[in-house]
């Protein structure tokens, strides 16, 4: 890594960056073309831009409205994220600040649940939903997504809480601060960015989920990913509209992910990478 070597490396990095970004750029560009310009050979890069793909996606042209699935996705993702935090924050507290006995065994138990394939539990979950009348009900997805993200959240929150210097907690105790005061004045300020990152990751995983949603929902509770798989097969292929749909559905994740790049990687690696 000498000084004269960095120029070609930078050019190579730029080349790789553009190469990896190309499909995303192509998705957005195609979504802004008319259907006839979108499906041409060779691709018409310079065709005039239009929002007709988005207008069609949002139902100006008849067809199923994307609003119910988008709202379902918001409900499932936000709802399960809130539930996850309510369960994970106290659990992480019990695993890091005032640890219970065998805390590492408990921690590994949480992680081990992520290593078992969800598909192996899918059938009983489907049957339970069927017998309890919760098939095609968004609250059932909220519960499932909570269980899907809870282990990750516990690990993350624990690693964030473990970063709080023990001296700070001891000092608070010496000053006579009670549990609530300590949590509010000492733990919360340090843990807040971690909680935010955890919430973001849970939101993304729930927003992206397809298998459970596909099997357990139907007309009423279908989420945005299910809607995406559905409208291609039912209406034939409209490339501009499809790209508009893919862009709209990906937008929340893209925006949130770009905004929190560093926290995202720390979170996705279970807090192991500092």
Partner 1 sequence: MTTLATRPSPVTGPPAQPRGLSTAARWARRAPLLPALIFTIAVTQLPFVATLVISFLQWNSLAPENRGFAWLDNYLAVITDPNLRNSVLTTILLTASVVLVSLILGLGLALLLDNKFRGRGLVRTMLIAPFLVVPVAAALLWKHALYNPEYGLFNGILGIEMDWISEMPLIAVIASLVWQWTPFMMLILLAGLQSRPLDAVEAAAIDGASGWQVFRYLTLPHLRQYLELGGLLGSIYIVQNFDAVFTITSGGLDTANLPYTIYQTFYQAHDYGAASAAGVVVVIGSIAIATFALRAVSSLLKNEVTR
If binding is defined by CB under 8 A, does position 259 make contact with partner 1?
Answer: no
If binding is defined by CB under 8 A, does position 140 make contact with partner 1?
Answer: no
- Pick from 64, 143, 190, 196 the residue near partner 1 by CB under 8 A: 143
If binding is defined by CB under 8 A, does position 228 make contact with partner 1?
Answer: yes
- Pick from 64, 74, 82, 253 the residue near partner 1 by CB under 8 A: 253
- Pick from 32, 88, 129, 161 the residue near partner 1 by CB under 8 A: 88
Which region, judged by CB under 8 A, interacts with partner 1, from 48-56, 59-67, 102-110, 192-200?
102-110
**SS3 sequence, the chain?**
CCHHHHHHHHHHHHHHHHHHHHHHHHHHHHHCCCHHHHCCCCCCCCCCCCCHHHHHHCCCCCCCCCHHHHHHHHHHHHHHHHHHHHHHHHHHHHHHCCCCCCHHHHHHHHHHHHHCCHHHHHHHHHHHHHHCCCCCCHHHHHHHHHHHHHHHHHHHHHHHHCCCCHHHHHHHHHCCCCHHHHHHHHHHHHHHHHHHHHHHHHHHHHHHCCHHHHHHCCCCCCCHHHHHHHHHHHHCCCHHHHHHHHHHHHHHHHHHHHHCHHHHHHHHCCCCCC
- Pick from 70, 82, 168, 215 the residue near partner 1 by CB under 8 A: 215
Query: Could you say which residues in the range 118-137 bind partner 1, by CB under 8 A?
Result: 118-128
Q: Which one, 87 or 168, has the nearer CB to partner 1?
A: 87
If binding is defined by CB under 8 A, does position 4 make contact with partner 1?
Answer: no
If binding is defined by CB under 8 A, does position 266 make contact with partner 1?
Answer: yes
Mark 51-80 with x for binding to partner 1 (rule: CB under 8 A) and - for no binding.
------------------------------
If binding is defined by CB under 8 A, does position 21 make contact with partner 1?
Answer: yes
If binding is defined by CB under 8 A, does position 168 make contact with partner 1?
Answer: no
If binding is defined by CB under 8 A, does position 270 make contact with partner 1?
Answer: yes
If binding is defined by CB under 8 A, does position 218 make contact with partner 1?
Answer: no
């Amino acid at each position: 890594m000498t000084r004269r070597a960095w120029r070609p490396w930078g050019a190579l990095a730029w080349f790789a960056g553009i190469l990896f970004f190309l499909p995303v750029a192509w998705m957005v560009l195609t979504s802004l073309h008319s259907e006839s310009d979108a499906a041409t050979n060779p691709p018409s890069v310079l065709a005039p831009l239009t929002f007709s793909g988005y207008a069609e996606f949002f139902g100006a042209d008849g067809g199923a409205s994307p609003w119910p699935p988008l709202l379902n996705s918001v409900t499932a993702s936000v709802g399960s994220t809130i539930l996850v935090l309510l369960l994970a924050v106290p659990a992480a507290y019990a695993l890091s600040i005032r640890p219970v006995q065998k805390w590492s065994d408990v921690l590994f138990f949480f992680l081990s649940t992520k290593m078992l394939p969800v598909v192996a539990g899918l059938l009983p979950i489907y049957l339970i939903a069927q017998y309890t009348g919760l098939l095609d009900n968004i609250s059932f997805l909220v519960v499932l997504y909570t269980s899907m993200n809870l282990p990750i959240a516990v690990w993350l929150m624990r690693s964030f809480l473990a970063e709080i210097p023990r001296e700070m907690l001891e000092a608070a105790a010496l000053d006579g601060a009670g549990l609530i005061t300590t949590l509010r004045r000492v733990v919360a300020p340090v843990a807040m960015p971690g909680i935010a990152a955890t919430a973001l990751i849970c939101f993304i995983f729930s927003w992206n989920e397809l298998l459970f949603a596909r099997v357990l929902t139907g007309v009423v509770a279908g989420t945005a990913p299910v809607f995406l798989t559905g409208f291609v097969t039912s209406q034939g292929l409209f490339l501009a509209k499809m790209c508009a749909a893919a862009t709209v559905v990906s937008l929340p994740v893209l925006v949130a992910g770009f905004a929190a790049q560093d926290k995202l990687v720390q979170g996705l690696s279970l807090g192991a990478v500092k």
